[in-house]
Amino acid sequence: MDIDDILADIDREALPQESLDLQELTRAWVTERVAPELLPYPDALMERVSARIRRQIELVEEQTGNMDPKTNFSLIIIQTELERFKFLVRSFLRARIAKVLIRVRKQYLSAHHALLSSHYQASFLSQFPPLLQRLDDTAGGVSMVDAPDLDSAVFVRVLKDVGVVSVEGTDTIFEMQRGDVFVVRWRVVRERVLVGDAELI
C-alpha cells in the first residue's frame, strides 16, 4: 500500500452518504437502461433517496415565498438539482416498468399459447411426424420461443481485477483487469456486475 492508496481510501471515506447514494443511483439507472433483463430492486437506496427528495420538496415549498434575492438564487439551484434527481428516479423506474410489462405480457401470452397449442394439436399437429410436432423448437439456431436475450452484447467497465474469463461454447478467453472496457455477452459478466466487480456503461 503506497501513499496514493492511503489517500484514495481516505478520500473515499470522506464522501457523505448523499454523494455515495447519487453514485449508486446513477449506476443502477445506467445498468437498468443497458441490461437485457430486470435486475434486483435496490430497496434501501430508493427509500433513502425518496425520503430526501420529499424533504427537499418541503424545503422548496417553505422558502418559495421568500423574496430575498440571495435565498432566491440558492432556491433555483436547489430546484434544478431536485429536477435532476426526479428525472433519475423516474427514468430508472420507467426502464424497469418497460421490462415488467414484458413479463406481464408473457403471462398473457402463455395462457393464450396454451389454448392455441391444444387447438393446433387437435386440428393438424397430431397428423405430423413426431419430430415436427414441437412448438418450442430451437433447431438451426432459431428459437421458436422469444425470451430476453441474456447473451446479447453489453459494454462493461471492470472495477476490480477479475482474472481470466472464458465465453462458454467459443474460443474466446480474455483477462478482466481494473479499468478495462469490454464488449461482451451479458451472461458472461452478469454475476460480476451484480456483485459490483464491474459496471455496465
Residue 28 · residue 92 · CB < 8 Å: yes
Residue 198 has φ and ψ, to the nearest 5°, of -150, 160
Contact residue for another protein among 43, 62, 136, 168 (CB under 8 A): 168
Contact residue for another protein among 39, 45, 46, 167 (CB under 8 A): 167
Question: Which span sits near another protein by CB under 8 A: 60-68, 112-120, 125-133, 168-176?
Answer: 168-176
Name, in order, each residue with C-beta under 8 angstroms of 163's C-beta and a sequence gap of 6 or more: 175, 176
Q: Any contact of residue 119 with another protein (CB under 8 A)?
A: no
Question: Which span sits near another protein by CB under 8 A: 14-22, 61-69, 106-114, 128-136?
Answer: 14-22
Q: Any contact of residue 36 with another protein (CB under 8 A)?
A: yes
- Total number of residues binding another protein (CB under 8 A)? 80
CA 106 – CA 88 distance, rounded (Å): 28
Question: Which span sits near another protein by CB under 8 A: 39-47, 112-120, 124-132, 133-141?
Answer: 133-141
Q: Any contact of residue 91 with another protein (CB under 8 A)?
A: yes
Q: Any contact of residue 106 with another protein (CB under 8 A)?
A: no
CA 188 – CA 105 distance, rounded (Å): 27
Q: Where in 180-199 is the site for another protein (CB under 8 A)?
A: 180-185, 188, 196, 199
Contact residue for another protein among 60, 101, 147, 150 (CB under 8 A): 101
**Min. distance of Cβ 107 from another protein in angstroms?**
16
| Strand, helix or coil for residue 135 | coil
CA 15 – CA 159 distance, rounded (Å): 19
Contact residue for another protein among 47, 58, 68, 149 (CB under 8 A): 149
Q: Any contact of residue 64 with another protein (CB under 8 A)?
A: no
- Per the structure block, which three cell numbers stand in for 170? 467459443
